Amino acid sequence: MGNLVVVGTQWGDEGKGKVVDLLAEHADIIVRFQGGHNAGHTLVIEDKVFKLSLLPSGIVRQDKVSVIGNGVVLNPWKLLEEIELVQSQGVNIDPSRLMIAENTPLILPYHQALDQSREEVTDKKIGTTGRGIGPAYEDKAGRRAIKVGDLRDDELLKHRLAIAAEYHNFDQQQLFNQLAHIKEHVLQYVNDVPLYLNQKTDLGFNILFEGAQGSMLDVDFGTYPYVTSSNTLAGMASIGSGVPHNKIPNVIGITKAYTTRVGEGPMTTELFDEVGEHLANVGKEKGTVTGRDRRCGWFDAPQVRKTCMLNGVTGIALMKIDVLDKLETIKICTDVHNGIPVYEELPGWCTSTIGITDYSDLPRLAQEYINRIEQLTQTEVVLISTGPERDQTILLQDSFF
């Protein structure tokens, strides 16, 4: 398998969790490298549903090591809540299975308060989750962040809090006491992540880097300002973990067979008719983290072609093809003129693809739709998802798995 990155090529919610779980079977270590608890993955494994927002998706596999890298902003209370929740579902989590980079910035209560107050007072809403992600990244860039490794030293922590208090309004002693109450529970997982990951790479271990959100939410290349506060592209896997870029040769681009978006901002192919409602209802399009309804539209080929280029995608995992099963006509956006999408119409296959595991068993018209996506995005499809379960999958390229 080798080291590889999994990223979303759209606005997130593409189904990364399922693919990461599939890939994790062949990986030794799974690394989360950016974002915070504003991004969620839903995993369906047998009769259990795992909803994760901070822990890497590989945590549900007992024989894997999961890592939270320095590119993440970490709410320590939410982390401990999620660990407790996953453990209650029968998954063992201890320091031998979970590691946190010591230079990971913390999301603290004043970040969340600031995030929410900004969204409340402005007429031009970004549509953030209000969980403090943006302000935490601002503090990182402003050199006033509290990092998880700072919890080891009380005097250093007090010093860092004093610096932060020059910018934020909070009770320093109260927050120090709150952090003191949980720090040992968090610090047991803290380690030198770059050293660990590079040593394991040199020994031939397979590392899977798990992105959050989607490429069109990248703070540099997304639909700015309606973006997240971090870089979501594959290149961030190196910066957000400490593993050199030339040790991460492969990129899987998770791509939904149509388009969805949560929150504000432009969406060229958005549908406001019964087809959009059909996609939302059949696809169960609600955000894992927020529960917000996702906006739905046709597949946007120029967008995915661009994000495949930016990420260096070496193979597409095409998700939720089964959601299109009952549509008589399916459209693909092939170009955009002055903000108006140009569509190509393809006939629908009007039969179920749910649970198909062999490409030859797919309806011919479904195969033609997939082939057209490959042509328009100039990227090969290496996996097709035909349902939410782990085994409802068609593998076209075993080299990635």
Cross-strand pairs, 7: 253
Cross-strand pairs, 29: 65, 207
Q: Please state whether the peptide bond connecting residue 249 to the residue before it is cis, i.e. omega within 30 degrees of 0.
A: no
Say how far apart CA 189 and CA 179 lie, in whole Å.
15
Torsion of CA 305, 306, 308, 312, to 10 degrees: 140
Say how far apart CA 381 and CA 369 lie, in whole Å.
11
Cross-strand pairs, 191: 101
Q: Which of 116, 86, 84, 52 is nearest to 182 (CA)?
A: 84
Q: Do 228 and 219 meet the contact criterion of CB atoms below 8 Å apart?
A: yes
Cross-strand pairs, 345: 331
Q: Do 177 and 5 meet the contact criterion of CB atoms below 8 Å apart?
A: no
Active-site residue set: 13, 41
Q: Which of 195, 101, 193, 109 is nearest to 148 (CA)?
A: 101
